[in-house]
Amino acid sequence: MPTKTDTQFEHATKVCEDIFTKKMKDYGTAWRIMRPTSLTDQIMIKARRIRSLENKKESKIAEGVRPEFIGIVNYAAMALIQLELGYTDEPNMPHEQATELYQNKIKAAQALMSNKNHDYDEAWRDMRISSITDLILMKINRTKEIEDHNGATIISEGIDANYMDMINYAIFAIIKLDFPE
């Protein structure tokens, strides 16, 4: 039987996938040209805007933080795909293939979330969204550091694990925004 978190996670991922597929209809798979480092920087831009809005309490652009968290989920999923396939100068990928790859990355993130959620007893539910933002920014900085070392780590998880955590933290933020308790 699905838990409350499973149901809410499914809701949030459907929202993100809907945006992913609609943007793919508008832009195709142009993102396939991006290197993972560029996608990391795109995620950084989204997270910094969220933090800026949290600190300023005012937005001069009509979009709030929710679309930025959705963007983090989608860019992190794209980055995981790029890590697997590599970037290309010919970014045309069949939409069905891109959607299937996207769904596989989201499912993997959800499986990771489920395992961690079991061990941590849903501690994220007691967190502030601003703390989730800070954790995403920390994961971005870790990722950039690993990227600057050509993916080499001594003891730490790799780039892919950090992208997976970014997906899950952003999903938690979307859940907290969509289902305030």
Coil, helix or strand for 156?
Answer: coil
| pLDDT at site 146 | 95
Which residue shows structure tokens 């290197």? 35
CA 157 to chain centre: 17
Three-state secondary structure readout of 99-138 = HHHHHHHHHHHHHHHHHHHHHHCCHHHHCCHHHHHHHHHH
pLDDT over threshold 80, residue 2? no
Nearest residue to 15 via CA among 124, 142, 106, 90: 106
Amino acid code (one letter) for 20:
F
| pLDDT at site 142 | 95
3: left (phi over 0), alpha (psi -120 to 50) or beta: beta
Please indicate whether residue 181 or residue 84 has the higher confidence score (pLDDT). Answer: 84
pLDDT over threshold 80, residue 62? no
Asked whether the beta carbons of 12 and 178 are under 8 A apart, the reply is yes
Q: Which of 17-21, 104-108, 129-133, 147-151 is least confident?
A: 147-151
- Percent over 90 (pLDDT), the chain: 81
pLDDT one-digit tens code per residue, 98-108: 999 999 999 99
| pLDDT at site 126 | 94
pLDDT (mean) for 83-102: 96
pLDDT (mean) for 33-45: 97
d(CA 141, CA 121): 26
pLDDT (mean) for 75-82: 98
pLDDT over threshold 90, residue 123? yes
The helix (H) or strand (E) run that includes residue 51 is: helix 36-56
d(CA 143, CA 137): 10
Asked whether the beta carbons of 139 and 40 are under 8 A apart, the reply is no
